[in-house]
Amino acid sequence: MIYKFADFVGRRYAYLIVSSLILGVVIGYLMFTPWDIIKDYTTPFYKNVIEYFTPSLPGEILERHTNPLVIIMIAPMGFTITFRSFGGALKDVKGFCFGLAVNLLVGSILCWGLSSVFLSVFMPSTLSNFTLSILPLLQYNPTLFITNFVNQFNNLTQIATGLVLIGTVPAAGMAIVWTGVLDGDVPLAVVISAGTMIIAPFLIPFLMVWLAGAFVTIDAVQMFINLLYTVLLPILGGMLLRQFIGRKRDVGKYLPLCTAVSAISAIFLMFSSINTGVPVLLKNMSLILPLIVSIVLIFPILFFSAYVLSRKLFTFKKTVALTYSSGMKSLPVALGIAATSFKGLVSLPVAVGFVFQMLTAVVFYQLLKRMEQDVENQFKAAEEETVR
C-alpha cells in the first residue's frame, strides 16, 4: 500500500502540484471576506477582534507547523544521497565545478538582476496607483495611510526577495530524473545535486545578504542557524541513516518512498504559501501582473544560459546534466527557507515558480530530445561513411 502511494506520487507529481495551487487559490478566494479589507483600515485592537472571530485559512494553520514540515521534507532527500556519490566529483572536477558555479552563482546573479528590473519597472507605477486608492485615508487617519503605504512597499520588496531566493537554492533532485530520461550524464547530475545541497546552507546566507540586503533586512547568522537545523542536519541525518541501514539491507526499495514523502511535504508548504498569499493579492491586484511576469522569465533564462554556457565545453550527455542541474532549482528548499527565515510574500514567487519550472523542463525536454536524435543521426552517418 505504501509503495503504491509512492508510485502514485511519482507518476502524478505534476498534477498534484497544479491541483494544490488551484485548491489554495480557490479556498483563499472563497474565504476572502470584506472583513479582510476592513481590518487593514482600522486600529490594532479592532484588527485583533476581527481576526479572532474570522476563521483561519488552512494555509495559516499549516504555517504554525512550518519547521516540522521542512524537516520532514529535507531528511528523506538526505536518505537518497550517499557519501560515495561525492567521490564521483573527483572523477569529473571540471563538470562538478562548472555545475556549482552556474547553479549557485550565475543563477543567483541572474535572479537578482530580474528582481532589480522587477522593482525598477513595477514599483513606481504600483505604488502610485496604490497611493491614489488610499488617498482618502490621509485626511481621516494619516497613521493608517502611512501603515498601508509601507505594507505595500514591503509586499513588493518581499516578492523581489523571493525571486532572489529562487536563484540561491541548490539543484533540484528532479534534475536527475530528467537527465536520466534524456540519456544524459546521470552521475554528474547526482554529484551536482548532492554537492549544492550540502554547500547551500553555508552559501545562501552570504548570497542573500549580498544580493537581497538592499531589499530587506536579513539576519545572516539567524538564517544560517535556521538552515543548519532545517536543511544541513536533516540532510546529514538522512545520509547517515542510509549508511547505517545500507550495511544490513538493500535500501533501494525505500528511495521512492523517501521521494514521495519529500514531495507531499513540499506540496503542503506550497499550498500554505499560495493560500495565505491570495488575500494579499486580492487586496492588491496590481501585484499579480509583475509577480507572474517575473516568474515566467526566470526558468527559461536559467535553462537557456546553462545550455549555452555548457554546450561548447562538454559532450551532449554532460550538457544535458548541466542544463537541468542548473536550470531546475530545489523549490521545496526555497519554500522551507522562506517559511523559516522570512515573512510575508517571500514564499509566494517560489510557490508560483513550481508550475513554470515544470513547464520549462518539459519544453527543454522536447528540444533536447530532438537534438539528441540529431546527434545520433550524425553519429550513424559518420559510421556509415567510415565503413564505405
Dihedral angle, C-alpha 157, 162, 164, 169, nearest 10 °: 160
Q: Taking a C-beta distance cutoff of 8 angstroms, is the pair 321, 369 a contact? A: no
pLDDT at 137: 56
Q: Taking a C-beta distance cutoff of 8 angstroms, is the pair 26, 276 a contact? A: no
Question: pLDDT tens across 316-364, in order?
Answer: 888 998 999 888 898 888 888 888 888 778 888 888 888 888 888 888 8
pLDDT at 364: 87
Q: Taking a C-beta distance cutoff of 8 angstroms, is the pair 176, 189 a contact? A: yes
C-alpha cell at 366: 522536447
344: left (phi over 0), alpha (psi -120 to 50) or beta: left
* CB atoms closer than 10 angstroms to residue 120: 9
DSSP assignment of 269-293 equals HHHHHHHHHHHHHHH-GGGHHHHHH
Give the CA count within 13 Å in the CB-facing half-sphere of 176: 18
**Top-level CATH class of 2-387?**
mainly alpha
d(CA 354, CA 180): 21
Q: Is the dihedral of CA 235, 215, 295, 69 positive or negative?
A: positive
Low-confidence ranges of the chain (pLDDT < 70): 1, 33-56, 85-90, 122-152, 284, 372-388
pLDDT at 142: 65
Residue with cell 536524435: 373
Dihedral angle, C-alpha 52, 58, 64, 66, nearest 10 °: -160
Q: Residue type for 365, please?
A: Y
